């Protein structure tokens, strides 16, 4: 279990690598109150996203991205006991729809390649912060 004080370095690095404010190649995080999101960028994305054209969603934004994953803190009191990971390949779904490809919406949720990539990004973030990665559960 990790308390809020030990988690602080993780969130500091996530803020430093915030896709909104950092044009660097490792910037792919969007820090939040109860976790963080992970975004794909043109040069760093899960397998299968090569066909998605990732562009900046608003003028003046620092870096183009497409949201891939949400990591929420699993809490027991004030301690983080685990992480809840969810992925949604909305950019792939939208591309398929534009190309008139119809698939069940569930095939875009928690795709194995997206989960693998998001797990790697999550584990790396905790490693760089010097904090053990809590168990990652799929939501």
With 0.75 as the threshold, say if the pTM is over it: yes
pLDDT digits 0-9 by tens, 55-101: 765 655 666 678 899 999 998 888 899 999 999 988 888 888 888 88
CA distance 40 to 8: 24
Per-residue model confidence (pLDDT) at position 59: 58
Number of helices (H), then strands (E), belonging to the chain: the values are: 3, 6
- Three-state SS at 48: coil
């Amino acid at each position: 279990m990790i308390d809020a004080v030990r988690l602080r370095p993780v969130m500091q690095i996530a803020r430093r690598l915030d896709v909104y404010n950092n044009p660097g190649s490792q910037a792919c995080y969007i820090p939040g109150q109860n976790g963080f999101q992970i975004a794909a960028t043109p040069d760093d994305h899960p397998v299968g996203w090569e066909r998605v054209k990732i562009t900046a969603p608003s003028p003046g934004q620092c870096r183009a991205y497409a949201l891939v994953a949400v990591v929420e803190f699993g809490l027991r009191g004030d301690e983080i006991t685990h992480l809840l990971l969810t992925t949604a390949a909305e950019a792939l779904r939208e591309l398929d729809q534009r190309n008139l490809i119809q698939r069940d919406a569930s095939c875009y949720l928690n795709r194995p390649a997206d989960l693998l990539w998001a797990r790697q990004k999550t584990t790396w973030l905790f490693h760089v912060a010097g904090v053990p990665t809590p168990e990652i559960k799929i939501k």
